[in-house]
Structure 1
């Protein structure tokens, strides 16, 4: 899982809890998804007057201020929204901004706004080089609240993993087989989050076991990146290469759906 996606998930989960309870939570900057971030702010495109062009205006200086801003404006809940850009999006998943777009949908009684993050790297900031801004990219849109059936999505992900395990066993190394098997076994793990790097990714108690299994399985199957990743493989035979590309695309798209499904089907 990329750091961008992990933070978007965390923002959605902790934000929902705040919108429901109104309680101040220990989230920013302590959450692990912020560990390399110099700042995280929130901006809207606004005009100072009728004749001026739109400029970015900071509306919240950090995630906790943003949660308060949303609640004070009668936001009801947050949902993830994934927008696929290309059929072979998995090939660009390791790049900043690649692999499709993840939005946070802020849902109000009659409309939704959609926020997307922009990450800038400053090499002069050694310990925390990332400067993150969430932009309100779309506003006053129809409510989407993208939902998928959890049980069916689990079956879809299981099938994808079984297919790619077979391929990996025949055409790659045992290490890839082990990774995909671990992801598949997570779908039946009673404590799926136990060995996950972002131990504080979501508020675990707010989600059913199936949701957590689905989220963690998809996260552990996230092998798409740059050099040394699953994307870096190639095969001499065209038939094998075509199968590899097809299975990779299927797994990636199902992973994105799984993450979306797991987070949007919460108990809030």
Structure 2
């Protein structure tokens, strides 16, 4: 999985867990598990450009500021790009490609939306990550994923992974066939991680949501050279491959959103 998507996931899982400890007065607050520097800025449009105003130098300070503004929960928002020239499953390997991912902060006054920006530091030889608040106290953005139940996406993904496994096996792609079959196993108790192996705060999720994230991690085959995206077939097989692949990408993204958003400490409609 692309690192930017994984970090958005971890930020929300971690953030909801820490908001929970803040609400209950628990003393234990684990630091955000990232080896990269992460800071947060307010973005204000001043034509023709955006002005960046420092908001927080690190995730814990960010979360404390948000709680002071009335934050109730964090959610993950995804929207396909609908680019007719290149499918999202292929564009995802490029910075900012593969659809639109936002961190949503739910408040009684509306929602804030934060978007990550990744820049490579030639001096330090690592990525620098900044989250910018692009909308503040905004009406909640519509998303069909909000009404998807974990049981629904679990069943749909299970069925589709069967199709992916069959297609790969029938087209001499045994390595990918085993990958899709393993992802299918992750959706059952046979393949899920043990309690000792499940990282915090994923361990706080319901078992079905843990299974979804485990399956996504295995089945994410969308990369560059040598990945599932790099394959080509002839005739009708190419059409079937493209349809199956695009559907898998959408199902995996839905599974991510449904599982991660279940970590909210208060019910979010």
TM-score of Structure 1 vs Structure 2, range by shorter chain: 0.7 to 0.9
Tell me whether 1:182 sits opposite 2:176 in the alignment. Answer: no
Tell me whether 1:263 sits opposite 2:260 in the alignment. Answer: yes
Tell me whether 1:62 sits opposite 2:58 in the alignment. Answer: yes
> Residue 31 of structure 2 is aligned with which of 27, 34, 45?
27
When residues 233 and 261 of structure 1 are mapped into structure 2, their CA distance, relative to the original with a 3 A threshold, is same
The TM-score, its normalising length taken from structure 2, stands at 0.87
> What CA distance in whole angstroms lies between the structure 2 residues aligned with 1:53 and 1:27?
34
> What CA distance in whole angstroms lies between the structure 2 residues aligned with 1:53 and 1:222?
36
How do 1:1-268 and structure 2 match up within 5 A?
1-22=1-22, 23=27, 25-28=29-32, 31=33, 34-35=34-35, 37=36, 39-46=37-44, 54-86=50-82, 88-126=87-125, 129-144=126-141, 146-189=146-189, 192-194=192-194, 200=199, 202-235=200-233, 237-266=234-263, 268=265
4+ runs deviating over 4 angstroms: 50-54
> What CA distance in whole angstroms lies between the structure 2 residues aligned with 1:191 and 1:164?
18
| RMSD value, Cα | 2.4
When residues 116 and 172 of structure 1 are mapped into structure 2, their CA distance, relative to the original with a 3 A threshold, is farther
> What CA distance in whole angstroms lies between the structure 1 residues aligned with 2:89 and 2:204?
30
The Cα shift of 1:226 comes to 0.8
The TM-score, its normalising length taken from structure 1, stands at 0.87
Give the gaps of 5 or more residues in structure 1. Answer: none
Instruction: Report if the CA contact (8 A) 1:43-1:59 is conserved.
Output: yes
Residue by residue over 1:234-259, the C-alpha shift from the partner in whole angstroms, topping out at 9 and shown as x without a partner, is: 12x12111111100000000000011
The Cα shift of 1:54 comes to 4.7
Q: Aligned to 1:175, what secondary structure does the other structure show?
A: helix
> What CA distance in whole angstroms lies between the structure 2 residues aligned with 1:54 and 1:265?
33
When residues 190 and 109 of structure 1 are mapped into structure 2, their CA distance, relative to the original with a 3 A threshold, is farther
When residues 194 and 230 of structure 1 are mapped into structure 2, their CA distance, relative to the original with a 3 A threshold, is farther
> What CA distance in whole angstroms lies between the structure 2 residues aligned with 1:20 and 1:62?
19
How many pairs are equivalent? 254
